[in-house]
Amino acid sequence: MNKDSTSTPTRRSFLKSTLGAGAILGFPTVIPSSAMGKAGHTAPSNRINIGVLACGSRSGVAADYQSYDKSQIVAVCDPIYERRVVRAFEWGVQDHYSDFREVLAREDVDAVHISTADHWHVPMSLAAARAGKDIYCEKPLGISIEQDLAAREIVSKHKRVFQYGTQQRSSQVCRMGIELILNGHIGEIQDIVVWCPGGFQGGSPTPVLPVPQGFDYDLWLGPAPEAPFSYDRCLNPEYNSKAIWYVYDYAIGFLGGWGAHPLDQLQWWADHEERGIPLTYQGRGQIPPQGLFNTVFRWDMECTYPDGLTVRFLDTESAHARVAELPAKITTDQLSGQGTLFVGSEGWVSVSRTVFHTSSGELRRKARNPGPIRLPVSSNHGHNFVDACLARKQPLSTLDSAISSDLISHMCDLSIRTGETLKWDPIRQTVIGSAEAVSRMHRPMRQPWTL
């Protein structure tokens, strides 16, 4: 059933009231009908009903809900008609929508899975929390520091379950590698290196094209600045239809988009060590001088903790070029893709999505029984989220940790854009050392959208 043109009076009233108020995201809380045990709904102690918000490539992760007996997808949403129809068919879902607010208005939706472009992540997560929904949100978190800090409301005020889409915390090899480090098998940590794929140059905002039928382009843009519809912005398969990851109006590029994964592994360790995040940021990076794509695409940053421990954060190409400079005998093969390297006084461990490397075979063998410090075990990130919703507890990738790792990306981006060494004040929660960087903590949002 296509719900775009027909909706119940409750949904119609919901949309009218939010639009009329001018603060689109300030919804009243909606209590799931399943919480009341209505006839025809599975009790929440047995099943979570999920709405998938955005049906592009990243939404494929949501298929895990359909294979889990504790969850089911009951609605999908995307401003592109073809995308949502295809996903609805694939998953056997009857209801599909263009406007995410209609999904949030449904009383039978307990949680949402957000796989939109980055500029929608925090605004949509806040909207879902205010509507009483639990949230699985793809990485990265916000497109500004202001958005990251505003996201705290999701848990602190609305008490919602929030799972960050850094699926590597549900990877056995990542967990085993971090456990080796936490149990002291490489000694005192002396250096850390983080790397991930860089971005792209190119793209063109022209020629300006008519918006295709079945594409609500205004809703797709949402809080982003108004911009003419063009092939490279939305449709070019050369960029796998992912140009939104390289346009600064919608993202900060792969500093956050890919960096979220290895930085999350850094933060997983740092959270257990109660380290917070690095406070000083300096280095260099490149921004395309022309074209549609204008996010940082090459970088080499140093991020330093108060005790002097430094994290070197590079794009993968730069890491390969500087492999001889890195503080461990790691090969370019071991630097493939993305990863996080911890170098200690007694050895090193490197973790990435599907493998972890160690400085010796003896160290690797210890991963089977690393010691008393153990991390939570999860084999599926989506299932872990569903279990957390049912248990009313925070899942594996928490909002607090997401905010911390995302702030590292933003501080690197701001340091590159201002050309200045920047410091983060963890007490005042602000950048210090640059008036320009402070101003860039905020991103204006196109009306009527607000935080």
What pLDDT score does 243 carry? 79
What pLDDT score does 235 carry? 75
Maximum Cα–Cα distance across the chain = 66
What pLDDT score does 58 carry? 86
Query: What are the boundaries of each domain within the chain?
Result: 9-168
What pLDDT score does 237 carry? 64
| CA nearest to 246, candidates 338, 139, 118, 122 | 118
What is the H or E stretch that residue 449 is in?
none
**pTM to 2 decimals?**
0.90
Q: Which residues of the chain have pLDDT under 50?
A: 1, 5-40, 44, 239-240
Residue 223 per-residue DSSP state: T
What pLDDT score does 6 carry? 34
What pLDDT score does 16 carry? 37
Q: Measured between alpha carbons, how far is 242 from 224 in angstroms, rounded to an integer? A: 16
Q: Which residues sit opposite 192 in a β-bridge?
A: 311, 342
The beta strands (E) that lie in 118-222 are given as: 134-138, 162-165, 189-196
Domain 9-168 has CATH 3.40.50.720: yes
Provide the residue type at 132 as one letter.
Answer: G
What pLDDT score does 24 carry? 32
Q: Alpha carbon of 149 to those of 250, 265, 402, 411, 421: distances in Å?
A: 18, 21, 11, 13, 22
- The secondary structure of 324-382 as a DSSP string is GGSSS---TGGGSS-EEEEEETTEEEEE-SS-EEESSHHHHHGGGS--S--PPP-S-HH
Among left, alpha and beta (phi > 0; psi -120 to 50; other), residue 164 is: beta
Percent helix, strand, coil in the chain, to 5, is: 40, 20, 45
Provide the residue type at 201 as one letter.
Answer: Q
What pLDDT score does 240 carry? 45
Q: What is the pLDDT of residues 193-224, one digit of tens each?
A: 999 999 999 999 999 999 999 999 999 999 99
Q: Measured between alpha carbons, how far is 416 from 422 in angstroms, rounded to an integer? A: 10
